[in-house]
Amino acid sequence: DGHVHLADYRAPAWRVSLAELEFELDPAATVVAARLHLSPDADQPGQPLELDGEGLELLSISVDGQSLPAGRFVYDGHRLTVHGLSGDCELATRVRIHPENNTRLEGLYRSGSLLLTQCEAQGFRRITFMADRPDVMPRWRIVLRANREAFPVLLANGNPLASQDLGDGRHEATWENPHPTPAYLFAIAAGPLERVSRQLRTAEGRDVEINVWAEPSDVPRCQYALGAVERALRWDEKRFGRCYDLDVFNVVAAQDFTMGAMENKGLNIFNARYILADEATATDADFLAIESVVAHEYLHNWSGNRVTLRDWFQLSLKEGLTVFRDTEFSADLHSRALKRIEVVRLLRARQFAEDAGALAHPVRPARYKEISNFYTLTIYEKGAEIIRVLHTLVGEETFRAGMDRYFAENDGKAATLEDFIDAHAQASGRDLSGFARWYAQAGTPTVSIAADFDEASGDYTLTIDQATPPTPGQPDKQPLVIPLRYVLYDAQGAVISAAPEADAPVRDGLVELSQARHVLRWRGLRGKPLPAFNQGFAAPVKLQFDYGVDELARLARLERDAFNRWDLIQQLASEALLGDADAEAATGALSDALADLLADAGADPAFVAECLALPDFDTLAEQVAEVDVQGLVGRREELLDRLAEDQVERLQSRYESLAAAAREGLSGQAMSARALRNACLSWLTRLDPEARLARAQFDAGGTMTERIVALRCLLHFRAPGAESALAAFREAHATDPLVTDKWIGLVATRPHPEALDDVRGLMASTWWKPANPNRVRALVGSLARSNPLAFHRRDGGGYQLVASQVAALDPVNPQVAARLLGAFESWRRWASPQRDQAREALVSLQGRLQSPDGRDLLERLLD
Ligand code: DPP
Ligand code: ZN
């Protein structure tokens, strides 16, 4: 049926112990000579050798030095089959490829003056023949030859071995990667790169050179990323006991890159947006994102590279685990509560929708058609939440013991989720078979809690039900193991410490749910308590408890857990926006809570800013059965206007009082001050049609963090002078593609249906670069994902524009095109006329998409 099935896994019939590659690099035509040292699997003798190779021009093929006669092999453009091999042998091939024509940016491609690779998941087969599967892990020796002037720097995986001038204008560099490494982690980079560099010694005593490379004019903006590499390296030594294992760690920034970044062994290649930064061109959020992506890729060196995947069904084994590790890194270095808020916002706005929509899939899918379509929020973010569930169940110390065991038992191997779970089961002495269900079942579980208080006896009962909704292909769900935290407050606001009687394990304010229903009972309480749940969002569930508005407001003051205080304010906002009878009461309570926060000089300003940021459109849409787009956006805008009016004096005073702190560079305090000032500015601009404050902040120069938010205020509230500010900004950064993406994103997200016309206008301009993934995301991605009024425009024009771009980009870069289609994942829940228009736009794509990526998504969307 066109699917690859997990159940069909078979070990490779041939192993590759060593891969020796020689590249004659040239953008127009590169010749790759490969020598693969092969051994048959003892359990599967006599099998033909099958290698992947996508669209390669085969120049020669030989075995053990003997050219192969035509009858011994078949190459059909996708797969090379060689017959009659037995025992250990060496297969040598030469192929020609064309980097310059490679717009998919998979395999070897050109970006500006650089030649680069991207091999995950299945790009290596576009470079040369290989068993392109993660459980084939040769050691590597790589020789690069190229014109010295055009390609002065030649990088590959592993350690540099030798380099020499070839006398004819060319030079050569030899690299060696001594660690068993699958082909998806292969990389080379060549071109006029320059670097920033740092020497350090690992905790094991190895001297390592860290380099961050970029095109010469970008090198000054690599310093921050270099520091981030060192911080990540030190953190992994300390928190997980993992040291770096090569003599060099190279990072390269590229302007044309489909993904965010790639953890190739010893040679990470990055989308430039996750490397390049200074205060004039990058926002505080950019700096934090750079640090966390740099850490993510570095941390893969153990969770992904040293221990890799048996097959692509295990993708979350490296991605979920590494997201967990990078979020812990950020939480340890900065504010744990703010990091948790950031992660949960993303989860609720996007992953919950994915898990409830047409593209829902388990964290470990049982089948796929196109693996590129599974680099999803579910694999990454929900995968990380599941690791967090495990961490909460066993505690930090036992978790660390389980990780040590996992790394020790699987080092140099291609592992499965079973191997991971098994290591933790051994270390904790727990049966984790119930926990493992998290990987198999799609859908966000709901935990509904009902309370009953008996005035006479003082008995308080919580009845806790869990349910996971049906998802495509999975009508029935089993209960999951959910660690639910809870706190009871008494009438004075003190925590009730008595443990309940329970039909589930309970300890320290945490109950382990594993059945469809559990009951907790406290005996003889003096009065009706007020409960709070899921502190720190320890379980990725939708929690339902029927709070009154007064109770939410009271809890928002009482809760010790900062994440939950924020969450309760979010709940008040949801109630104000979606509640029926109590919407007005919720609005009043929300306004009071925000007033207190704004007046609290002791509160972290960045935390206050998070509380001012009400649930976004996607998060709200996730909470209603049928999405009335214009109604929802309209109500949200009204609420914001009303709240801004209530708070105007406090907003002004915080804006002014934080001005000095906001000038203190990249310190946490300065970032925090800028966050709240920007939140205040956005609210204040609602009340001032002249947008004087925004204009002043824009004109004052300052950091990109300040300028970009001021510009957004001017553009999004259509202030006088917005166009001239935009023109000034555009000209000032005309040669910087990353900053250009920023203003393009602002134009594409102007909250008005007419933004669609601006997007069309930009597509007809020289700013439109459809071959550059960042530019496509800035213009079309922002429209589809972050501009509900324009994307869901009543005339269906938004859907048509996105669909036509999907069709146009499908042959250029199928992964980028398919990503845009994801914006339709919830279309069945959109109210008419949008639902019908969306269906029409999707149906219009049938038969027009050639890539497996696009066809697979379209089929699932319309299924
Ligand atoms: N493996 C890459 C990552 O770090 C894929 N983009 O997530
Ligand atoms: Zn990753």
pLDDT digits over 286-303, tens only? 999 999 999 999 999 999
Region of residue 671 (phi > 0: left; psi between -120 and 50: alpha; otherwise: beta): alpha
Q: Which protein residue has the closest C-alpha to ligand 1 atom 2?
A: 262
Whole-angstrom Cα distance, residue 129 to residue 92? 10
Nearest to 790 by CA among 724, 743, 840, 834: 834
- Contact assessment for residue 532 and residue 554, using Cβ atoms and an 8 Å cutoff: no
CATH code for residues 739-863: 1.25.50.10
Residue type, 857: L
Q: In what order do the strands lie in the sheet with 89-97?
A: 66-67, 57-63, 89-97, 30-40, 14-24, 139-147, 170-177, 159-165
Whole-angstrom Cα distance, residue 150 to residue 106? 22
- Contact assessment for residue 413 and residue 420, using Cβ atoms and an 8 Å cutoff: no
- The Cα angle at residue 747 between residues 741 and 751, in degrees rounded to 5: 135
Token pair in block for residue 708 = 């970009």
Whole-angstrom Cα distance, residue 303 to residue 318? 5
Which numbered ligand comes closest to the C-alpha of 326?
A: 2
Whole-angstrom Cα distance, residue 464 to residue 513? 8
Whole-angstrom Cα distance, residue 274 to residue 506? 43
pLDDT at 714: 98
CA of 246 to the centre of ligand 2 (A): 20
Phi, psi dihedral angles at 92 (to 5 degrees): -115, 130
Tokens 């990380």 -> residue:
384
Distance of CA 275 to the CA centre of its chain: 16
Bridge partners of 159, per DSSP, are 176
Whole-angstrom Cα distance, residue 448 to residue 510? 16
Report the relative pairing of strands 530-533 and 482-489 from DSSP bridges. Answer: antiparallel
pLDDT at 578: 97
Q: Is the CB of 381 under 6 A from ligand 1?
A: no
Q: Where in the chain is the domain with CATH 2.60.40.1730?
A: 12-192
Torsion over CA: 585, 591, 596, 602 (sign):
positive
Q: Where in the chain is the domain with CATH 2.60.40.1840?
A: 446-539
Q: Which protein residue has the closest C-alpha to ligand 1 atom 1?
A: 262
Q: Which atom of ligand 1 is nearest to the CA of 300?
A: 4
ipTM for the predicted complex comes to 0.98
Q: Specify the CATH number for 446-539; select among 2.40.50.100, 3.30.1220.10, 2.60.40.1840, 3.40.50.720.
A: 2.60.40.1840
Q: Specify the CATH number for 308-440; select among 1.10.390.10, 1.20.1530.20, 3.40.1190.10, 3.40.50.10190.
A: 1.10.390.10
Whole-angstrom Cα distance, residue 108 to residue 183? 13
Rg of the chain (C-alpha set) = 28
Whole-angstrom Cα distance, residue 137 to residue 184? 10
- Contact assessment for residue 690 and residue 720, using Cβ atoms and an 8 Å cutoff: yes
Coil, strand, or helix at residue 613? coil
Mutating to test ligand 1, I would choose from 184, 319, 321 the residue with most ligand atoms within 8 A of its C-beta, which is 319
pLDDT at 614: 97
354 contact partners, CB below 8 Å, separation of at least 6: 360, 376, 377, 378, 822, 825
Q: Which protein residue has the closest C-alpha to ligand 1 atom 5?
A: 262
- Contact assessment for residue 841 and residue 802, using Cβ atoms and an 8 Å cutoff: yes
**Which superfamily does CATH assign the domain made up of 12-192 to?**
tricorn interacting facor f3 domain (2.60.40.1730)
Coil, strand, or helix at residue 303? strand
Tens digit of each residue's pLDDT (9 = 90 or more) over 65-98: 999 999 999 999 999 999 999 999 999 999 999 9
666 contact partners, CB below 8 Å, separation of at least 6: 279, 284, 287
Mutating to test ligand 1, I would choose from 300, 316, 323, 376 the residue with most ligand atoms within 8 A of its C-beta, which is 300
- Contact assessment for residue 300 and residue 407, using Cβ atoms and an 8 Å cutoff: no
769 contact partners, CB below 8 Å, separation of at least 6: 775
CA of 223 to the centre of ligand 1 (A): 22
Q: Is the CB of 58 under 6 A from ligand 1?
A: no
- The Cα angle at residue 655 between residues 651 and 660, in degrees rounded to 5: 160
Low-confidence ranges of the chain (pLDDT < 70): none
- Contact assessment for residue 261 and residue 270, using Cβ atoms and an 8 Å cutoff: yes
- Contact assessment for residue 705 and residue 662, using Cβ atoms and an 8 Å cutoff: no
Q: Is the CB of 296 under 6 A from ligand 1?
A: yes
Residue type, 787: N
Q: Annotated active-site positions, please?
A: 297
pLDDT at 347: 98
- Contact assessment for residue 784 and residue 820, using Cβ atoms and an 8 Å cutoff: yes
Q: Which atom of ligand 1 is nearest to the CA of 304?
A: 1
pLDDT at 1: 85
Distance of CA 623 to the CA centre of its chain: 23
Peptide bond preceding 121 in cis form (omega within 30 of 0)? yes
Q: Is the CB of 319 under 6 A from ligand 1?
A: yes
Whole-angstrom Cα distance, residue 781 to residue 783? 5
Mutating to test ligand 1, I would choose from 297, 303, 309 the residue with most ligand atoms within 8 A of its C-beta, which is 297
Region of residue 303 (phi > 0: left; psi between -120 and 50: alpha; otherwise: beta): beta
Whole-angstrom Cα distance, residue 69 to residue 81? 13
CA of 265 to the centre of ligand 1 (A): 12
Q: Which helix (H) or strand (E) holds 343?
A: helix 336-346
Coil, strand, or helix at residue 51? strand
DSSP for residue 713: H
Whole-angstrom Cα distance, residue 361 to residue 378? 8
